[in-house]
Amino acid sequence: MLTKRLVKFAIPFAVGALALTACSDDGDGGGGDGSTFKIAYQGPLSGDNVQLGVNMVNGVKLAIQEANESGDYDVEFELVEADDGGEPGKATAAAQSAIDAGVIAVVGPAFSGAAEVAAPNYAEAGIAALTPSATRPDLTEKGFATFLRGVPNDAEQGKAISDFFVSEGVTKAVVIDDTGDYAAGLADVAQSHLEEAGVEVVRESVPDDTVDHSGIARTVTESGAEAVAYTGYYAQAGPLAVKLKEAGYEGLALGGDGVKDPQFLSLAGDAAEGWYFSCPCRDLSTDEKGQDFIDRYTAEFDAEPGTYSPEAYDATQMIIEAVAELGDGADAKSVYEALAAGTHEGVAKTLSFTETGEYNGSGIYLYQATGGAITALGNVTDVVGG
């Protein structure tokens, strides 16, 4: 492909240009032959939760492709994939590969555990890490210099889960995490809010490599709880749902944003029916802008956008605009500063950040699996209030 060849030539050119920014005076004066900037996506592009990574990286790809094809910008953009498998253990290496590739900013890290490990690396390199999905609350409290969160955190989601259960009249609930950072954090918040509201909570931890869920399913049914919340990812939630159904569990079941994925439906089959999902992600099909995004995404990837596809798209677009604004002279530091202070009207929501890099806004949405599809029920506050 022509673009590919162009990019091949552009890389050394861009690297050279970046290295020489200090003494360059931008001699050729622009035109269609501007610099190429690399934007990394760090997240699970392999491993059990690869679907979430694919959702996001496709969002990034779409944003970059549209930017390059639009002709609106003097500069070109290129994607660098940094696969951390969603695992903290691989996060440093993934971050380093992105840093070594000379990226201008990063969309990610996608998962909270990996984000905690990789954020210091990006901070040291002065590269903005704008995560579309890492929702563990304390990530923005650790002073990572360049970390930005483009999504409401789990403190809010945990409360939403609790509010929902309470409004359904639940008196006893089982809260299950997968022992990972994100899941345990969300479960902690949900548990404390539930207990505050006078709901008895049985807390369980099922490691995310568990293959046999018959034990936990028995624990849930024997506990006599009316509701169960699983805060891990769909890869585990699928078989868990199946075993719960087999064990005869008939109460409420809810998964966090890591579960809200069509893959969950395919893994759990009939057992998925009736499951609720909480997610800091808005249903896009309710407005024109969102529907337009769905159409463009579907046309490109032959699949509907998944959880966090629009968030990743928005984050990428925000980076692209910041870079384009700064022009050829953009470097990682100036891009970070532009992002941290900026506001971006995205397809999912308006992105802006507080001083600590926290997403400036709110909104947790409730979904339900009905008839083999995930249906939006609306903002949790509306659902609970109504």
Partner 1 sequence: MTINDIWDVFVLGMVLGSLYAVIAIGYTLVYGVLQLLNFAHSEVFMAGGFGGLIVLTLVEPVAAPSGVQSVGYVLLGMAGGAALGGTVAYFLEKVAYRPLRRRRAPRLVFLITAIGASFFLYNLAGKIFGRNAVPMPSAYENKRVLTVFGTSLNITQLLILGSAVVMLLGVDYVVNRTKLGSGIRAVAQDPEVASLMGVDIDKVVSRTFVLGGLMGGVAGFLFGTNVQVFPTMGFLPGVTAFAAAVLGGIGNVRGAMLGGLLLGVVEAFTVDLVGDEWRYVGAFAVLVLVLMFRPTGILGERVARAA
Binding site for partner 1 (CB under 8 A): 46-48, 50-51, 179, 204-207, 209-216, 218-219, 222, 235, 238-239, 242, 246, 248, 263, 266-269
Which residue, 72 or 270, is less far from partner 1 as judged by CB?
Answer: 270
Q: Which of 358, 359, 378, 360 is nearest to 368 (CA)?
A: 378
- The whole-angstrom separation of Cα 53 and Cα 50 is 5
Contact criterion met (CB below 8 Å) for 232 and 258: yes
Which residue, 144 or 264, is less far from partner 1 as judged by CB?
Answer: 264
- The whole-angstrom separation of Cα 365 and Cα 383 is 9
- The whole-angstrom separation of Cα 339 and Cα 334 is 9
CB-CB neighbours of 198 under 10 Å = 8
We find the least distance from the C-beta atom of residue 155 to partner 1, in angstroms, to be 24
Which residue, 143 or 269, is less far from partner 1 as judged by CB?
Answer: 269
We find the least distance from the C-beta atom of residue 82 to partner 1, in angstroms, to be 17
We find the least distance from the C-beta atom of residue 44 to partner 1, in angstroms, to be 10
Q: Name the token pair of 364.
A: 């947790």
H helical segments located in 126-249: 154-167, 181-196, 214-223, 234-246
Which residue, 129 or 229, is less far from partner 1 as judged by CB?
Answer: 229
Which residue, 49 or 146, is less far from partner 1 as judged by CB?
Answer: 49
We find the least distance from the C-beta atom of residue 311 to partner 1, in angstroms, to be 21
Which residue, 238 or 363, is less far from partner 1 as judged by CB?
Answer: 238
Spacing of C-alpha 247 from chain mean position: 32
State yes or no: cis peptide before 109, omega within 30 of 0.
yes
We find the least distance from the C-beta atom of residue 206 to partner 1, in angstroms, to be 4
Query: What is the dihedral sign for C-alpha 46, 50, 56, 59?
Result: positive
We find the least distance from the C-beta atom of residue 174 to partner 1, in angstroms, to be 12
Q: Name the token pair of 346.
A: 């995205």
